Structure 1
Amino acid sequence: MLSFRRVQTNVVGRCAYLMPAFGIVSNHANGRLLGLIDVGASAGLNLNWDWYHYSYSNGREFGSSDARVRLESEVIGQQFPGLREHFPQVSSRVGIDMNPIDLSKPVDLLWSRALIWPEHPRRARVFEAAATVLADNPPALFAGDALDLLPGILETVRDDSAPCVFHCHTLNQFTPQARESFRDIIEAASADRTVYLVSAESGTLVVSRCDSGVWSVIANANCDPHGRWVEWLEGV
């Protein structure tokens, strides 16, 4: 089976740290619409983050009380982003993946479900609920190399929106040269307007912005790879 199937995880729990990160971006962009681009999107489940409900150990809750997807996460430390009551509005949702997963196909849905560890029943339930949300609200998914597709997709983000690229445990699969090229693409796009980047790699979350090729860090945090806990460090 592994000769024609790939191990591509869909960890919806990561939205527990992505949601606050998008709120931080929105605050810095003066509440503008967000044009989201997920690099390494897999099935695109995390692009629907604003359809989910969030409950944090510090008592903060966000999202609709009747949301099908309900996420819980522990907040370590005293810091937490100053988020608005309502989620930022999203103007576009685009995912890029070398081999995007189509969960409307039963075989792909079953394979993705099978990749969830058996000792994680809650994660399985969250995935199944997120798959139903995806069926009703499918984002645009493009198959191909991010270095080829990202420049053109950045150009499609509406003028009234803040481009926000994000990736979770993806750049570790890039060569050093490819990672450099990835940043070059964002720097080139920032010649005309600010481009935001939310990067979650190796247990570290970094929210940054690029203006005319100049980078600045807005916020960062330590986080569990599955979003089970997050420790905000600064810039929140």
Structure 2
Amino acid sequence: MPLSRPSAAPPRALPVIVLADVSGSMTQLRKLETLNESIATMIRSFAAERPVRGEIQVGVVAFGRQGAVLHQPPVPAADLEWSDLRAGGRTPLGAALDLLTELLADEKVIPRNAFMPTLILVSDGKPTDEWEEPLRRLLASPRGGKAIRLAVGIGQDMDDDDFQVLRAFIADPSIEPQRADQVHLLSRYFSWLTMSVSRQARVGRQSSAEIDFDELDEFLA
């Protein structure tokens, strides 16, 4: 009787979580519209991937009028039906960081054997609540501290103080937050991000060393 072949191990979850600023200023200059389009396109691209090593999951934490809310729990991209974000209110980044820390610690949402997550902060201005202590808690957490953390600032009105917040979130001097001074650059940023994460899922490796920032420069050129 022929021996049966061992079944292949299921792919490990590779979480991608967007922290989306949905404050009132995001309604200006098609910022939120472009962000919604960019996330939806990213999800469709991830859903088309069939990697055997990593299953890309997408989640979104939104922060604005309603405080910080889990707009989209992390689920496999192929199972996700995107619902557009809506803007209004202030910029409670600290509340979003605390919600993110709780989310990353919940093994019912993100399995213990998952790859470390990729976290992307998208914002167009200054936080309106206390954010430094929540950020310390995130960076001190097992997954938050080891995650790949990226950030992009939208709009020409962001000053250096705004970008210092994004740098603090990344907490890696080798990685700079990106500027999307023109809103259309945000969609290019997400195109690069999609390519980078898809590559990681195919090879089953995930670290900041796997990210090709030279390719990002080409996308934004």
Higher relative contact order (CA 8 A, sep 6+): 1
Q: Give 1 or 2: higher helix fraction.
A: 2
Return the TM-score normalized by structure 2.
Answer: 0.41
